[in-house]
Amino acid sequence: MGRISKKVKIRREIMKKRHPELLQKRIEVMKKRKEAGNKKEESDKASEASHHQRQSSPPTPASSQPSTSSQPSTSTSSDAHPKHDWCSESWCFWKKAVNEDTLKKAGKQNVSPIRKPSHSIMKLQLTVNKDQYKELHSVYKRLSDDNLLSRCLKGKTQNPNESLHSRIWILCPKVVSVSKATVDFAVAQACLIYDKGYEKGCLCDALKIPKSSSMMDILKKWDCTRSHFKEDTLGKEM
């Protein structure tokens, strides 16, 4: 440590001679950082002390609790109205406590007395009032509407559109400069394969090209890998 402090002193002396203003700014920045670190440490200690005080203090009776009319009305989960029905037991702190408490009461497991954790001490608590809850609920309700979901049954979403584009650019790569006729042919061929499949969309008959058995086997194999072809096959069999 003595050598390091000596080096620091030498550097400060050099900077004091060459760049006194820069040295003064650095000293001020270091002081501010130190003050900010001290404040953060004090706030962490205060929050930790309040957290321990809440855990050690007995629960307040219902008569001494403030009325709900004076508190802001929220639609998120709280100690009085927990909403953890859709939470997974693997990560939900509330369900873990409930399950452990149930096991203890049933006598199936030796568990120490459990006190359910409070929502107020959770660091990642999201508070939503009733108006905000209504707006969010309306969005989720529209997204889960039967009419909207029925339009997605046959894959009529953005993904097939992107898949069609990728099929076009496989036949006609963007990196290669081609004529408009080539692009039009690639679009028509991609749409034909997308709608009819590889076997029915084959142009060998139109071009009077003989089809071999190995070629037809490959086209059928490619058709079997297409998801909407499988759906059509299952629909016909049903």
What SS3 state is found at 74?
strand
Residue 231: is its pLDDT beyond 60?
A: no
Q: What is d(CA 92, CA 115) in angstroms, rounded to the nearest whole number?
A: 15
* Overall average pLDDT of the 22-51 stretch: 75
**Are the CB atoms for 73 and 128 separated by under 8 Å?**
no
What's the whole-number average pLDDT of the chain?
Answer: 72
Close Cβ partners of 164 (under 8 Å, ≥ 6 residues apart) = 190, 191, 194
Cα-based distances in Å from 69 to 110, 131, 171: 41, 16, 67
pLDDT tens digits along 179-206: 889 999 889 988 888 888 888 888 888 8
pTM for the full model? Answer: 0.30
Q: What is d(CA 143, CA 90) in angstroms, rounded to the nearest whole number?
A: 27
What SS3 state is found at 129?
strand
**Are the CB atoms for 170 and 189 separated by under 8 Å?**
no
DSSP 8-state assignment for residue 71 = S
**pLDDT for residue 104:** 58
Could you tell me the end-to-end alpha-carbon distance of the chain, in angstroms, rounded to an integer? 82
Helical pair 20-56 and 2-18, crossing angle rounded to 10 deg: 130
Residue 50: is its pLDDT beyond 70?
A: no
* Structure tokens given for 139: 């969005």
pLDDT tens digits along 106-131: 555 554 555 666 766 665 556 777 88
* Structure tokens given for 177: 């400069």
Q: What is d(CA 189, CA 194) in angstroms, rounded to the nearest whole number?
A: 8
Q: Which residue has the higher pLDDT, 166 or 18?
A: 166
